[in-house]
Structure 1
């Protein structure tokens, strides 16, 4: 994610094989792992293009999270009700990831990314003219569909287009872009809500998005290597393609260990991202009374998660995923409980600890999925991200009930309930060998 670190380093370059020599079978097919990398200059452009696209995506996804007080005021809804603008977008984004995973295998990676980005920029014009909260929710539902293309396709695009020596650079840069896009988007929203009206804010978001999309389009290569088919004279039946896609998804869903990891990622994000929404409302009330922008500075706590995610590849190799899952769980429990201490510094420390625990969990989930998914890896990743963002979508309405009953103390109780379910999932995952039977 979101931040939005969608992939860990180990899951990106630890399980990818790319050969410069291409062998073509009698049927005219090229193996997915037999790809001719393009020129080095084009590879660098592709890395920067997709990283900038990621920044644009996460700015558009999370800017509204930093604008919740302004949204509540402008559309005359409660602060808790305003959190739905993030939940509904995460909901449609979650299921759209599965669509893009399939469609990009059919038409290529480039077209869905470019078309969705330009439509996203245009959709921001609609936000300028919305006059009621229901209309805002409908536009954000649409944006969720458009926001899904880049996170669903980017890693497969990298794997197909880049030479091995570019992998580490691409992974590190892309992860950083995810993180910075999420943090900047929230702070950007908080700053605008302090000084600009709703229409002015959305106009500025439109301009920023339009510039970003134009640069991405310029940087992206005009052509892409399509590793699936060289000779298109023989095409599989559409029904056979659909059956193959469904079998790929179903194989991962029915894998007990894989489905537990999907649940772990979804529960962790369900708690963490929505805690950040409600803590803004808490910090703007007594006894803190922070301004709209100062309240959004809590999002800088994501940086501890970025650091933890960066170190996670080494830790996974050294300690194993199960130990890290358990350690991350304890960090999230400790961080959540610390926020009950009635001081600003305790809240900041608590969110620093929670963010590091969450992103460690997220990195372990990504690595597990990448290792375990021998076939249909893109579909496995899309299923994980679907559960991940579905958790974000459901977490808003879920924690809203606790907020309305007991404010921040209620949110902590709701979070601990989710953590109890997370502990059960980790316990079940730890039983038996993690390796997939042959």
Structure 2
């Protein structure tokens, strides 16, 4: 599952550090270039609910394996895109086929891992996401600097192929999966039950806001560092994405912390850490910016690990659908806020971006603060959440 998360994020966010190069090569505006990321995440978001339904009916493993295999093929095709429109279409297809893995992964962990170890297991899975996002971005940025973005994307596709082979060979078979009816009436009834839960609604809102802030910061950080007074090249900008390693550490550590002190105390604390890091990035000094991004990344991955695990525990037998809704909110936030914040960049620069993101993160903190006193869904959850 660590490897699956690694491949998903590596393939999905590969264009992020080379957005300035796409602006130059295809003569498009920064907001338009950001669609190379946003349309992929939007397509993934839209396919998560159908993927969760297929996961409930046909099993977690077949869907996850098929998703990675198809995504690798499309990644190779992306390197051959003839123009920017074709690039966007391929990025949308990549996001759509990738949906099968995140739609099933958290449900698989919830079914197959002991409740006492689920916090740590979720932390390791999210850590794989973080490491994949870091490695994919850094690799693409460096190879683009040395050759071209097409060779960089093709190289990443090879990495995705290796990850796919490992995932297919090493994932243990499901022991506790029980197929569920995919009748529309049952699905709608489950969705109504999930949205009737105030705690789940707030967790979905938190996912939308936090992922939107996270994607926006990394989308436009490259433009800021590429411009004066910093003037960094692609490799140097890509090196900033090595801060994702902080997210890997944060996810694993937060998972253990959740197992010890509970999600209610951890979630709002991690969002507060993220807001502190965001504020530090407003300083026009490169070491301060790097430090601020590191602090922000640590808090973000800690919050995401906490919230995603909480959804799976609270939803019970509906965890696959609940996870899909959570991730749909998560990736829609990346698409909507990640694109709209480009308007703030074009009009007010980094100050405009951080102001807009500050509002979003304040809303996320307010939501998490209210979750502190959430009534447990069941007596069992009162012992574990």
Q: Please report the TM-score for the alignment, with normalisation by the length of structure 1.
A: 0.78
Q: Secondary structure at the match of 2:377?
A: coil
Question: Which of these residues, 343, 347, 353, is aligned with residue 285 of structure 2?
Answer: 343
Question: Which of these residues, 412, 419, 422, is aligned with residue 354 of structure 2?
Answer: 412
Deviation for aligned residue 1:294: 0.5
Residue 192, structure 1, aligned to residue 143, structure 2:
yes
Residue 264, structure 1, aligned to residue 214, structure 2:
no
Deviations 1:129-170 (A, max 9, x none): 322222211111111111111122234335556789997986
* Residue in structure 1 matched with residue 383 of structure 2 by the alignment: none
Q: Secondary structure at the match of 1:110?
A: helix
Residue 437 to residue 183, structure 1, CA distance change in 2 (3 Å): same
Give RMSD over aligned pairs: 2.7
Deviation for aligned residue 1:287: 0.8
Residue 326, structure 1, aligned to residue 268, structure 2:
yes
Question: Which of these residues, 172, 186, 193, is aligned with residue 244 of structure 1?
Answer: 186
Aligned positions, number? 379
Residue 59, structure 1, aligned to residue 1, structure 2:
no
CA distance in 1, matches of 2:340, 2:219: 13
Listed as ranges, the matches of 1:93-112 within 5 Å are 93-112=44-63
Contact kept in structure 1, 2:224 and 2:350, CA below 8 Å: yes
Contact kept in structure 1, 2:203 and 2:307, CA below 8 Å: yes
Listed as ranges, the matches of 1:360-375 within 5 Å are 360-375=302-317
* Residue in structure 2 matched with residue 285 of structure 1 by the alignment: 227
Could you say which structure has the larger radius of gyration?
1
Contact kept in structure 2, 1:62 and 1:186, CA below 8 Å: yes
Deviations 1:10-47 (A, max 9, x none): xxxxxxxxxxxxxxxxxxxxxxxxxxxxxxxxxxxxxx
User: Which stretch of structure 1 is more off in the superposition, 172-181 or 275-284?
Assistant: 172-181
CA distance in 2, matches of 1:340, 1:277: 16
Listed as ranges, the matches of 1:116-131 within 5 Å are 116-131=67-82
Question: Which of these residues, 366, 375, 381, is aligned with residue 434 of structure 1?
Answer: 375
Listed as ranges, the matches of 1:374-385 within 5 Å are 374-385=316-327
* Residue in structure 1 matched with residue 162 of structure 2 by the alignment: 211
Contact kept in structure 1, 2:20 and 2:30, CA below 8 Å: yes
Q: Secondary structure at the match of 1:260?
A: helix
Contact kept in structure 1, 2:122 and 2:255, CA below 8 Å: no
Deviation for aligned residue 1:367: 3.4
* Residue in structure 1 matched with residue 95 of structure 2 by the alignment: 144
Listed as ranges, the matches of 1:17-28 within 5 Å are none
* Residue in structure 1 matched with residue 131 of structure 2 by the alignment: 180
Deviations 1:163-193 (A, max 9, x none): 8999798656534322211110110111122
Answer 1 or 2: which has greater helix percent. 2
CA distance in 2, matches of 1:305, 1:215: 23
CA distance in 1, matches of 2:333, 2:322: 17
* Residue in structure 2 matched with residue 232 of structure 1 by the alignment: none
**For structure 2, which runs of at least 5 residues remain unmatched after alignment?**
380-385
CA distance in 2, matches of 1:86, 1:389: 11
CA distance in 2, matches of 1:416, 1:293: 28
User: Which stretch of structure 1 is more off in the superposition, 393-402 or 174-183?
Assistant: 174-183
Q: Secondary structure at the match of 1:71?
A: helix
CA distance in 2, matches of 1:309, 1:215: 22
CA distance in 1, matches of 2:21, 2:129: 25
Contact kept in structure 2, 1:89 and 1:143, CA below 8 Å: yes
Residue 347 to residue 243, structure 1, CA distance change in 2 (3 Å): same
User: Which stretch of structure 1 is more off in the superposition, 403-412 or 162-171?
Assistant: 162-171
* Residue in structure 2 matched with residue 202 of structure 1 by the alignment: 153
Residue 356, structure 1, aligned to residue 356, structure 2:
no
* Residue in structure 2 matched with residue 37 of structure 1 by the alignment: none
Residue 318 to residue 396, structure 1, CA distance change in 2 (3 Å): same
